């Protein structure tokens, strides 16, 4: 494999790995917000 190709693949892998970690963190935050929203809705409807 050419050096330039290998370098580009290394950079691409690093960027995709970083994006994956970031997206997982956002997904966990969204799940937590969804739980809060459901709890508030139940409270608004007079249920616990």
Q: Show the DSSP H helices in the chain as ranges.
A: 3-44
Q: Of 30, 26, 48, which is closest to residue 39 (Cα–Cα)?
A: 48
The pLDDT, as a whole number, for residue 9 is 98
The pLDDT, as a whole number, for residue 47 is 83
pLDDT digits (tens, 9 = 90+) for 1-48: 899 999 999 999 999 999 999 999 999 999 999 999 999 999 999 986
- Asked if residues 48 and 42 have their Cβ atoms less than 8 Å apart, the reply is yes
Q: What distance in Å separates the CA atoms of residue 32 and residue 41, rounded to the nearest whole number?
A: 14
Domain boundaries, the chain: 1-48
pLDDT cut 70: percent of the chain above it:
98
Q: What distance in Å separates the CA atoms of residue 41 and residue 48, rounded to the nearest whole number?
A: 9
pTM: 0.68
The pLDDT, as a whole number, for residue 13 is 98
């Amino acid at each position: 494999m050419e050096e330039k190709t290998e370098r580009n693949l290394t950079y691409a892998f690093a960027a995709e790995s970083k994006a994956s970690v970031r997206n997982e963190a956002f997904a966990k935050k969204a799940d937590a917000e969804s739980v809060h929203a459901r709890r508030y809705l139940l409270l608004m409807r007079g249920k616990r």
